[in-house]
Amino acid sequence: MTGRAALRGLFGTLAAVAAAEVTVRAAGGFSGDLPAPTQVLAAAGEQLADGEFTDAVGATLRVWAYGMLIAVGVAVPAGFLLSSIRALGTACQAIVEFLRPIPSVALIPLALLVFPAPDRMKTSLVVYASVWPILLNTLYALRQVDRVQLDTLKVFGFGAAARAWFVSLPSSVPFILTGVRVSASVALIVAISTELLAVGDTGIGTYLAQTQSAGGQTDQMLAGALWAGVIGLLINGALTTAERRAARWWPVSGKEGVA
Amino acid sequence: MLTIDALTHSYPGGHTAVDDLSLAVEAGELVTVVGPSGCGKSTLLRCIAGLQRPTGGRVLLNGDEIRDVPDSLAMVFQSYGRSLLPWLSVRDNVALVLRHRYGSRRERRAAALEALAEVGLADAAAKHPGQLSGGMQQRVAIARALAYGPKLLLMDEPFGSVDAQTREDLEDLLLALRARTPVTVVLVTHDIDESVYLGDRVVVLTGAPGRVLAELPVGLPADRDQIKTRQDPEFVRLRAEVGRLVREK
């Protein structure tokens, strides 16, 4: 983004916030006691010092992180298994295509039955939602592995497992990272929606539900949502950077690379 | 050392790449294999390397039939850009294949640096393949193959995708390395001049399906020179002879 574009973006944002501020104040907060943007920002600032809120953020992020770790740990080896044993891959294709479109939130009732502990319940749904993008990207990546690289290592006496470790896995890294980035956003959405829909003891979603039902805390409610957005943005930014760096230092194949 | 006995390979779908091809290579020899494109040269090398099981005939290395990739064999592929691993440094590309040769990483890296110095790339060890020119990448591939310490080195059109000057440099590099190392080389090329310039013996294959049309011993002194050798009457005679054979159907 050029400096001028960034400046314009900033102006646009400020203009939108100012318009919202004027509208909300002029209408007296509408019927639902809607806070003005400045009030939301002030509440967001206060939340940084609010132990209850920071604990809630920590709880959601913990569920998110564990869920992502488990999803990577499941999806990447599963991708290798399904693509190295062709019969298994074909046999599993139908079931994968059937399970993948099921929205995670539709599985909340099932997860509540299977996992009584709220953290495990939430983590299980995060894992469910995150597995698919990573699995599909891994499978795609493994179809792109360069035959010549595999043949080269074979000639130098590397067995199938060693070739998977030294060629297939590293050459899949950029694709797997793309899957992880897609999953990371989905995982955050699933974690917060699960907290909202199945009220647990803590978490950003739980905090939002409580501030909404308690009444008179709409500024905190919206500030919580604002923080959720900021967290999503930060996660996505970090993973996009990682991906871009991997693409630069990890030219998948061919002659181009860092020059 | 290497005996190819009535080798036949047909791909699924019916295309026969190599048909009843027999050839013997002595230890220490540099045999060049030349033929029109599509005559099964690459298939021949893949069968020798154990990358492909022939549908008929046998390949024997020191009397043993090749069923899997032999330990004493290395290969240089034409597409160097795809044969080197782009995410590893040049040094680590060489060191990687020495895993079964040396126990410690330090020994592997030292051996890799030594091999890179042999091909004049000591300074490039820390770079990644993508940072090097095509000719330099192919030097890395040659260093990697020789560091592996093979008895038999297979080269599949190794200098086919570099410019003319680089190609001559690489040809001379190969001859120099070979003079220092007791290695048997089978080099496939579609370049008639190159087959004569490099070879102790030129094997001419027929068009598809490939079989041996002629074997011509090269009566040139071992010490070859890009200018003088190419003016040698023997070189001129052989080049014309091979050219005539390649065009023959």
Distance separating alpha carbons of residues B160 and A118, to the nearest angstrom: 63
A43 and chain B: CB distance < 8 Å anywhere? no
A253 touches chain B (CB under 8 A): yes
User: Measured at the alpha carbon of residue A37, what is the angle toward residues A31 and A39, in degrees to the nearest 5?
Assistant: 85
Question: Is the pLDDT reported for residue B69 higher than 70?
Answer: yes
- State residue A101's pLDDT score: 87
Residue of A nearest to B79 (CA): A148
Give the pLDDT of residue A199.
65
Residues in B closer than 8 angstroms to A163, CB to CB, are none
A33: region left, alpha or beta (phi > 0 left; psi from -120 to 50 alpha):
left
Other Cβ atoms within 10 Å of B218 Cβ, number: 22
Q: What is the pLDDT of residue B63?
A: 81
A133 Cα to chain B: minimum distance (Å): 24
For A74-78, B27-31, B206-210, which range has the lowest pLDDT when averaged over its residues?
B206-210
Of the two residues A253 and B214, the one the predictor is more confident about is B214
Per-residue confidence at B221, pLDDT binned at 50, 70, 90? Answer: confident
What average pLDDT does the segment B126-132 reach? 90
Does the pLDDT value for residue B220 go beyond 70? yes
**Residue A157, token pair as written in the block:** 């006496």
Residue A32 pLDDT > 80: no
Measured between alpha carbons, how far is residue B201 from residues B108, B126, B146, B196, B234 in Å?
35, 38, 21, 8, 13
Radius of gyration of chain B measured on its C-alpha atoms: 18
B71 neighbourhood in chain A, CB within 8 Å: 157
Smallest CA-to-CA distance from A225 within A60, A67, A68 is with A60
More confident residue, A4 or B38: A4
pLDDT score of A256: 33
Partner residues linked to A220 by β-bridges: none
pLDDT in tens, A154-205: 999 999 999 999 999 999 998 999 999 999 999 999 999 999 887 678 899 9
Per-residue confidence at A258, pLDDT binned at 50, 70, 90?
A: very low
Model confidence at B185, in pLDDT bands (50, 70, 90)? Answer: very high
Please indicate whether, in this complex, the C-beta atoms of A155 and B74 are within 8 angstroms of each other: yes
Mean pLDDT on A47-56: 90
Query: pLDDT category, B11, cuts 50, 70, 90?
Result: confident
Distance from CA of A147 to the nearest CA of B (A): 8
Are the C-beta atoms of residues A25 and A35 closer than 8 Å to each other? Answer: no
**Residue A255: pLDDT over 50:** no
Q: Does the beta carbon of A247 lie under 8 angstroms from any beta carbon of chain B? A: no
Q: Which of A154, A250, A258 sits opposite B131 (nearest CB)?
A: A258
Q: Closest chain A residue to B97 measured between Cα atoms?
A: A156
> What does the pLDDT read at residue B40?
83
In this prediction, residue A202 carries a pLDDT of 87
- Give the pLDDT mean for A86-106: 87
Nearest to A257 among B99, B128, B134 (CB): B128
Give the containing element (helix H, strand E) for B203: strand B201-205
Q: Tell me whether strands B2-10 and B16-25 are parallel, antiparallel or unpaired.
A: antiparallel
pLDDT class of A29 with cuts at 50, 70, 90: low
- A224: closest CA among A50, A62, A105? A50
Intra-chain end-to-end CA distance of chain B, in Å: 30
pLDDT over threshold 70, residue A54 = yes
* Environment class of B78 (CB within 10 Å of its CB; exposed 0-12, middle 13-18, buried 19+): buried
What local confidence, expressed as pLDDT, does residue A214 receive? 79
Instruction: Give yes or no for B71 touching A (CB within 8 A).
Output: yes
Q: What is the chain B residue with the closest CA to A255?
A: B81
Cβ contact (<8 Å) for B81 and A254? yes
Please tell me if residue B51 touches chain A, with a CB cutoff of 8 Å: yes
| Interchain CB distance below 8 Å, B51 and A253 | no
Please answer yes or no on whether B69 and A251 come within 8 Å at the CB atom.
Answer: no
Q: Does B37 touch chain A (CB under 8 A)?
A: no
- Domain range list for chain A: 35-249
Optimal mutation site among A153, A156, A167, interface B, most CBs of chain B within 10 A: A156
Q: Is the dihedral of CA A199, A200, A206, A210 positive or negative?
A: positive
Verify whether the Cβ–Cβ distance A157 to B100 is below 8 Å.
yes
CA distances from A163 to A158, B156, B229 (A): 6, 21, 43
Query: Is domain A35-249 annotated with CATH 1.10.3720.10?
Result: yes
Helices (DSSP H) in B50-131: which residue ranges? 80-83, 90-96, 105-118
Output the pLDDT for position A75.
96
What's the average model confidence in pLDDT over B209-216?
Answer: 86
Q: Does A86 touch chain B (CB under 8 A)?
A: no
pLDDT of B116 reads 93
pLDDT in tens, A111-142: 888 988 888 899 999 999 999 999 999 999 99
Report pLDDT for A259. Answer: 26
- Please give the single-letter amino acid code of residue A117: A
Closest chain A residue to B136, measured at CA: A255
Over chain A, what is the mean pLDDT? 87
Beta bridge mates, B32: B187, B202
Query: B49: which chain A residues are within 8 Å (Cβ-Cβ)?
Result: 155
In the prediction, which pLDDT does A31 show?
A: 65
Q: How many CB pairs under 8 A join A and B?
A: 69
Dihedral sign from CA coordinates of B97, B71, B28, B56:
negative
Residues B24-40 pLDDT 10s: 999 999 999 998 877 78
The interface pTM score, or ipTM, of the predicted complex is 0.89
The pLDDT > 70 percentage for chain A reads 93
pLDDT number for residue B19? 86
The mean pLDDT of chain B is: 89
Residue of A nearest to B135 (CA): A255
CB contact under 8 A, A250 and B87: yes
CB contact under 8 A, B74 and A152: no
Contact indicator for B202, B192 with CB cutoff of 8 Å: no
Q: Is the pLDDT of residue B99 over 50?
A: yes
Chain B nearest CA to A166, separation (Å): 9
pLDDT at A65: 95
